[in-house]
Structure 1
Amino acid sequence: MSFGANSGTDFKTMRGRDFPAIRQFTVFLENRVGQLLEVVKRFEGTGIRIVALSISDAAECAFVRFVVSDPDRGRDILERSGLTIIESDLVGVELPDGPQPLLRVCTALLQAELNIIQAYPLLSRPHGEPAVALMVDNIESAQETLAGKGFRMLTEGDLIDREGLQD
């Protein structure tokens, strides 16, 4: 099984996980004009890009979900800002060429009896191909299933802004 650009790397993380996942941060914001801008501005000048974004709006608050190019530094910025955050793991998968690539991903997960809880596109294309971030009910099984079906899995290393590192 090969995962992303760092396939020769041991994926053991500080959280004790043994697989290449993409971290998502959920931030709770007051439902007022300008709140999203205030959070996005916190990344200005840091070299960290927001590579995926999803907003769920409710009457009193909004849940903003981010994937950033450098999750360790991104978490630090969000925590120092005093924001309440939740960290979750997602599956990153490139969509294959051909008609209905998302149908192929969903079919593979259905065959393995895996549920997709959240899904949204990645704004960056690490290898020039469209990709999605998926929250599933069993991440290890989803990664094994998708990799076994020939899908290219993305890791946090694939999301690093290589151009930003040269500044």
Structure 2
Amino acid sequence: MSFGAGADTQFETMRGREFPAIRQFTIFLENRVGQLLEVVRRFEGTGIRIVALSINDAAECAFVRFLISDADRGREILERAGLAIIESDLVGVELPEGPQPLLRVCTALLQAELNIIQAYPLFMRPHGKPAVAIMVENIDLAMKTLTEKGFRIITEDDLDADNLPPQDIY
């Protein structure tokens, strides 16, 4: 007996590269010299770049969070390496020109009563402007709020180093 045979409902989900959130990978590394280097080397020769990085050190391990230029291929590389990973969605937002651009982003999120859980800058400058990756408690509301306030949201396609001029990659 086949469940759902002939039904038009798709049971698989697919996430296109135009999905507005950007994916963060968190891995847990033993607190030993060279552990981060081993992970970074996994991307050598693949054309995948690490575009943002955050490290939180604990007594026994380190939590390494990063964004990469090709999340789908990057996840495969990390999984093949046998690393335990957690995938999370973040909002990428381009910082506006003018004084205190981060203040403007924080104010917009505060007005929507959204808390920022994590934030860190991107190593690259999509569209030639500085940008940050932000984890919030309600990503859909955050993207809607920021878009309505005129902020430019960074997508995974924007992180593709092949789409950027060399001066916009650090």
Shorter-chain TM range is 0.7 to 0.9
Asked if 1:121 corresponds to 2:121, the answer is yes
Superposed structure 1 runs of 4+ greater than 4 Å apart: none
Identity of aligned residues (%): 80
Alignment deviations for residues 64-107 of structure 1 (CA, whole Å, 9 cap, x no partner): 00100000000000000000000000000000000000000000
In structure 1, C-alpha distance between the alignment counterparts of 2:64 and 2:58, rounded to whole Å: 11
The answer for unaligned runs of 5 or more in structure 1 is 1-12
- How many angstroms does 1:126 deviate by? 1.3
Residues 130 and 163 (structure 1 numbering): CA distance in 2 closer, same or farther, change over 3 Å?
closer
- How many angstroms does 1:149 deviate by? 0.3
Asked if 1:152 corresponds to 2:152, the answer is yes
Partner of 2:4: none
In structure 2, C-alpha distance between the alignment counterparts of 1:149 and 1:15, rounded to whole Å: 26
One-letter code aligned to 1:65: R
Residues 24 and 60 (structure 1 numbering): CA distance in 2 closer, same or farther, change over 3 Å?
same
Residues 44 and 19 (structure 1 numbering): CA distance in 2 closer, same or farther, change over 3 Å?
closer
Alignment deviations for residues 90-135 of structure 1 (CA, whole Å, 9 cap, x no partner): 0000000000000000000000000000000000111110000000
CA contact (8 A) 1:48 1:68 kept: yes
Partner of 1:88: 88
CA contact (8 A) 1:19 1:140 kept: no
* Number of corresponding residues: 151
Q: State how 1:3-152 maps to structure 2 within 5 Å.
A: 14=14, 19-152=19-152
TM-score if structure 1 supplies the norm length? 0.87
In structure 2, C-alpha distance between the alignment counterparts of 1:160 and 1:112, rounded to whole Å: 30
Alignment deviations for residues 48-71 of structure 1 (CA, whole Å, 9 cap, x no partner): 000000000000000000100000
RMSD of Structure 2 on Structure 1 (CA)? 1.7
In structure 2, C-alpha distance between the alignment counterparts of 1:19 and 1:30, rounded to whole Å: 33
In structure 2, C-alpha distance between the alignment counterparts of 1:66 and 1:91, rounded to whole Å: 13
By relative contact order (CA 8 Å, sep 6+), the higher-ranking structure is 1
Residues 163 and 98 (structure 1 numbering): CA distance in 2 closer, same or farther, change over 3 Å?
closer
TM-score if structure 2 supplies the norm length? 0.85
Moved more, 154-163 or 80-89: 154-163
Aligned to 2:63, the other structure's residue is in SS state: strand
One-letter code aligned to 1:92: G
In structure 2, C-alpha distance between the alignment counterparts of 1:142 and 1:163, rounded to whole Å: 26
